[in-house]
Amino acid sequence: MTKAEAWTIGRVLEWATSDFRSRGLPNARLDAEVLLAFAIGDTRVKLVVDRDRPLLPEELTKFRELVVRRRTSEPVAYLVGTREFYGRPFRVDARVLVPRPDTEALVDVALARTARVSMSLRALDLCTGSGCVAITLARERPTSHVYATDTSEGALAVARDNALRLGATNVAFARADLLEGLQRFGRVDLVVANPPYIPTDEIATLAADVRSYEPRAALDGGADGLDLVRRIVTDAPRVLVAEGVLEVEVGAGQAARVFELFRAQGFAEIRVAKDYGGIERVVSGVWPSGT
């Protein structure tokens, strides 16, 4: 093979990008770059710097295997095993949802609304999944005590591994169905949750990498998407201190209905916050004293 015909980084990148586009995969160029950087064990910047370097046989083999898997819409985060959240790399696999930038709004709201107890925060993260929210809160507030729960032992194993790797020693994990049996932790200043909120009938319309690979139990929120949200809003006062905060991530178009759930339950200072894409993503409220 001549130098012009060699499978250089640049040539391979163009081939994979074209291949992904022809199959209708979104973010074709970005996906190709992320997978190739992973295959060669380097950064995306090096793909530009070393554009003319021929791939080693083992690098080419690894990359081709990744391309074949991505063609079936397997999430890139599962292929490379990590996804960044709030500036930290979280390990992910098929046992957990892939952390999304939308959910960073949940952390932003939590930090802002609990500023008064920033040195002594006690927080409970429901439906923790990969642990991205609980661990981020624990690292951003190192003097806090964070409890995180999930019904999936697989998800909890992933979350515990992330906490260990990221140095979040102030997080405790437990298997629980939302708030059942959590009185043993005592009352907390914050309950935060990113529960399943996709209406059952809409799951089939999601992108293939979501509907076919991410755990359905972490997506399906029942007929209108709010089955678990209702339970959380109803039960949270049992574990919140006076002036404690409840916040829940919701799907596009759900914020108004969830706002009314908070109001009907007796929460005060109810607010709706948008994510980075401008979607109303987080509903939060304060449990008033004297109730």
- Contact status, residue 191 vs residue 244, Cβ threshold 8 Å: yes
Q: How far apart are CA 134 and CA 3, in angstroms?
A: 51
What integer is the mean pLDDT of 132-146? 97
Query: What proportion of the chain, given as a percentage, has pLDDT over 90?
Result: 93
pLDDT at 290: 65
193 in helix, strand or coil? Answer: strand
Q: Residue 256: exposed, middle, or buried by beta-carbon count in 10 A (0-12, 13-18, 19+)?
A: exposed
pLDDT at 6: 87
94 Cβ contact partners less than 8 Å away, ≥ 6 residues apart: 78, 213, 214, 215
pLDDT at 289: 83
Q: Quick one: angle between helices 9-22 and 57-71, nearest 10?
A: 10
CA atoms within 13 A on the CB side of 213: 19
Least trusted range by pLDDT, from 41-50, 57-66, 120-129, 197-206: 41-50
Structure tokens at 133: 């929210």
Residue 3 has pLDDT above 70, yes or no: no
- Contact status, residue 107 vs residue 193, Cβ threshold 8 Å: no
- Contact status, residue 76 vs residue 35, Cβ threshold 8 Å: yes
Q: How far apart are CA 102 and CA 4, in angstroms?
A: 43
Structure tokens at 128: 């923790």
Residue 1 has pLDDT above 50, yes or no: no
Enumerate domains of the chain plus CATH numbers.
3-71 (1.10.8.10), 94-286 (3.40.50.150)
102 in helix, strand or coil? Answer: helix
Residue 2 has pLDDT above 50, yes or no: no
Q: How far apart are CA 4 and CA 76, in angstroms?
A: 30
CA atoms within 13 A on the CB side of 257: 13
Residue spans of alpha helices (H) in 121-181: 132-140, 153-165
Instruction: Tell which residue, 223, 225, 203, has the closest CA to residue 214.
Output: 203
- Is the pTM here over 0.85, yes or no? yes
Q: How far apart are CA 110 and CA 97, in angstroms?
A: 21
Tens-digit pLDDT profile for residues 154-194: 999 999 999 999 999 999 999 999 998 777 778 999 999 99
Tens-digit pLDDT profile for residues 22-70: 999 999 999 999 999 999 999 999 999 999 999 999 999 999 999 999 9
What does the mean pLDDT of the chain come to?
Answer: 95
Alpha-carbon torsion, ordered 89, 155, 134, 262, to 10 deg: 130
Residue 13 has pLDDT above 60, yes or no: yes
Tens-digit pLDDT profile for residues 214-257: 999 999 999 999 999 999 999 999 999 999 999 999 999 999 99
